[in-house]
Chains A and B, each alone.
Chain A
Amino acid sequence: MSKAVNVTKAVELIPDGASLLVGGFLGVGSPHRILAELVRQGRKDLTVIANDTARPGVGIGLLIDAKLVRKLIVTHIGTNPETQRQMIAGETEVELAPQGTLAERIRAGGFGLGGVLTPTGVGTVVAEGKQTVEVDGETFLLEKPIKADFALIACWRADYNGNLDYSLTARNFNPVMAPAGAVVIAEPTEIVPVGAIAPDDVVTPHVLVDHIIEKGMSNGR
Chain B
Amino acid sequence: MDDKVVIAKRVALELRSGNLVNLGIGLPTTVARYLPAGVVVHFQSENGIIGMQPVPEAGLANEFLTDAGGGPIGAVAGAAAFDSCMSFGLIRGKHLDVTVLGGLQVDELGQLANWMVPGKMVPGMGGAMDLVSGARRVIVAMTHTAKGAPKVLKRCNLPLTSVRRVDLLVTEMAVIEPTGAGLVLKEVAPGVTVEQVVAATEAALIVPDQVPVMAITE
Interface residues, chain A, with chain B CB atoms under 8 Å away: 25-29, 51-52, 54, 74-79, 84, 87-88, 94, 96, 98-101, 103-104, 107, 118-126, 156, 166-176, 203
Contact = CB atoms under 8 A, between A and B. Distances in A.
Q: Identify the interface centre among B124, B126, B160, B162: most chain A CB within 10 Å of its CB.
A: B124
Contact of B63 (A28, A54, A125): A28
Nearest to A173: B84
Given A99-B88, A176-B85, A79 B163 contact: no
Contacts of A100: 84, 87-89, 91-92, 127, 129-130, 134
Interface centre among B47, B49, B119, B159 (most CB of A within 10 A): B47
B78 interface: no
Contacts of A74: 124
Binding site secondary structure of chain B:
loop
Nearest to B84: A103
Would you call the interface of chain A mostly helix, strand, loop, or mixed? mixed
A136 to B, nearest CB: 15
Contact of A104 (B62, B68, B88, B128): B88
B62 A168 contact: yes
Per CB-CB distance, the 6 closest pairs between chain A and chain B, nearest first, are A78-B123, A100-B88, A26-B70, A123-B163, A100-B130, A170-B64
21 contacts: A25-B68, A28-B66, A52-B126, A76-B123, A84-B123, A98-B127, A98-B128, A118-B92, A120-B133, A121-B162, A122-B163, A124-B159, A125-B160, A126-B129, A168-B48, A169-B65, A171-B82, A173-B83, A173-B84, A176-B84, A176-B85
Interface residues of B, number: 43
A124 B130 CA distance: 12
Contacts of A78: 123-124, 126
A46 to B, nearest CB: 19
Contacts of B126: 52, 75-76, 78, 99
Interface in B57-73: 62-70
Given A123-B160, A174-B83, A79 B70 contact: yes
Contacts of B68: 25
Given A87-B122, A100-B130, 12 more contacts: A25-B84, A26-B66, A28-B47, A28-B63, A76-B124, A99-B88, A100-B92, A121-B129, A121-B162, A122-B163, A169-B49, A172-B48
A98 B125 contact: yes
